[in-house]
Amino acid sequence: MLKVIIDTSVFVAGILSRSFESSSFQLLEIWKKGGFTLVISPQLLRELVVVLLRRGVSETDLEDFIEIISLVALHIPGAYETAMLDDVDPDDNKFLAAAYEAKADFLISLDRDLLNLKFFYGTQIVTPAAFLDFLANGRP
């Protein structure tokens, strides 16, 4: 099964989306149905919780979502760090480190700096729409 890192921006877009047409929303639905393996590290989970609370997600909804992640995600220790890349926001390095540590197939992001990398040590970096296209057609 594909191992996938999801950037916080994609989680936020999918959770707060008011449209079933949203690629980020569809991506999260496919993950919940077992379409791929979500990989999460303590650093990524911590950022996700902080950002979702800041964006107004209720504690109850957040607890429910974190419970789903706890049950079905592949948890990695978060032991790796990446070298600071000039073209990437330092806060985004944790996504690259997790992708490297997990040997993830994909990193899904809405962040232009990450998307411009295209690949990082074998992990393909794509938008939610490109990943959905890959799942449907076998190519992003």
> Can you give the three-state secondary structure of the chain, one letter per residue?
CCEEEECHHHHHHHHHCCCCCCHHHHHHHHHHCCCCEEEECHHHHHHHHHHHHHCCCCHHHHHHHHHHHHHHCEECCCCCCCCCCCCCCHHHHHHHHHHHHHCCCEEECCCHHHHHHCEECCEEEECHHHHHHHHHHCCC
Show Cβ contacts of residue 135 under 8 Å, excluding neighbours closer than 6 positions: 30, 35, 36
pLDDT at position 129, please?
97
pLDDT at position 92, please?
85
Domain range for 117? 3-137
pLDDT at position 80, please?
75
pLDDT at position 81, please?
67
pLDDT at position 73, please?
96
pLDDT per 10-residue tile (average), the chain, 140 residues: 97 91 96 96 95 95 93 91 60 90 97 94 97 87
pTM: 0.92
pLDDT at position 69, please?
93
Q: What is the CATH number of the domain that holds 105?
A: 3.40.50.1010
The answer for 121, left when phi > 0, alpha when psi is -120 to 50, beta otherwise, is left
Domains held by the chain: number: 1
pLDDT at position 79, please?
84
pLDDT at position 77, please?
93
Place of tokens 């959905």: 132
Q: Are strands 123-126 and 119-120 parallel, antiparallel or unpaired?
A: antiparallel
